[in-house]
Amino acid sequence: MSEKIPPREKILGVLGGMGPLASAHFMVRLTLLTPAGRDQEHVASVLWSDPRVPDRTRGKLEGGEDPLPWLLRGVRGLKAAGWGAIAIPCNTAHGWYEAMCAEGLPVLHIVEAAADELGKVAPSGTIGLMGTAATLKMRLYQERLERRGWDCIVPSEGEMMTMVSPAIAMVKANRVEEAYAPLAAVAKSLAARGAKAVVLGCTEIPLGIQAGPWRTLGVPLVDSIDALALAGIAWARG
């Protein structure tokens, strides 16, 4: 008698590689955040990590190569394998969210996941938002968070150019510890401007922030990697 295999529908496909360290860290957090006592209680998942996807910020703001064909290639690969939903641990990639959803597979939205977690630490008021230049320019967070009642403030152009964007590049280059100081400075700056919490809306930013004494920053932080992992766990168990 053949062994019964559970249906694939509850397997989470992870479209990663943007960047590779962030998606690998997402898989770790997906595991660590799952309340499980044995292997069989964890989330069934598969990681499609393709770092060849063209730079999302350049593609959106600087006339660079369009990443959408590469994103769709990953979505279609995961769909063909029979997975039930997709999580994308890259905030800027959600600028092409509707096109990816049009492929017919549910895609968990990282901004909605982060908003759910933000509500636990700052139910209303002014919040700070850190992310790539493209994420902020596309207003991926601002529009959704403002609809849910928050007022958003973002780093200045100078802070983006001299601290946030270079720090994101440091993490992508595996210089994670060097990214802490500039990212921490910007988080403190947002708090000084009245932010009750700061959303880390780029999956490289939590890695840089957590490379130093982030618990001493004096402001609650919402990690978009953890938020998406929790959304994936809720979907798998729901």
Q: Tell me: the pLDDT tens digits for 65-89?
A: 999 999 999 999 999 988 899 999 9
Q: Which domain holds residue 118?
A: 111-223
In a domain, residue 89? The reply is yes
Q: Are residues 148 and 203 in the same domain?
A: yes
In a domain, residue 194? The reply is yes
Q: Are residues 117 and 212 in the same domain?
A: yes
Q: Are residues 14 and 99 in the same domain?
A: yes
What's the half-sphere exposure (Cβ side, CA atoms, 13 Å) at 69? 4
Query: How many CB atoms lie under 10 A from the CB of residue 32?
Result: 10
Q: Are residues 85 and 63 in the same domain?
A: yes
Handedness of CA 139, 145, 146, 148 (dihedral sign): positive
**Which CATH number does the domain housing residue 41 bear?**
3.40.50.1860
In a domain, residue 204? The reply is yes
Q: Are residues 105 and 115 in the same domain?
A: no
In a domain, residue 155? The reply is yes
Q: Give the pLDDT band (50/70/90) at residue 2.
A: very low
pLDDT of residue 6: 56
Average pLDDT, the chain: 95
Note the pTM of the prediction, 2 decimals: 0.95
Number of domains within the chain: 2
Q: Are residues 97 and 120 in the same domain?
A: no
Q: Are residues 190 and 233 in the same domain?
A: no
Q: Are residues 98 and 43 in the same domain?
A: yes
Q: Are residues 133 and 42 in the same domain?
A: no
pLDDT of residue 7: 54
Question: Torsions phi, psi of 5, nearest 5?
Answer: -105, 130
pLDDT tens-place string over residues 4-51: 545 557 899 999 999 999 999 999 999 999 999 999 999 999 999 999
Q: Are residues 104 and 152 in the same domain?
A: no
CA dihedral 116, 211, 17, 129 (to 10 degrees): 40
Q: How far is CA 128 from CA 95, 118, 182, 222, in A?
A: 20, 11, 15, 10
Mean pLDDT value of segment 113-120: 98
Spatial separation of the C-alpha atoms in residues 141 and 112, rounded to whole Å: 9
In a domain, residue 2? The reply is no
In a domain, residue 3? The reply is no
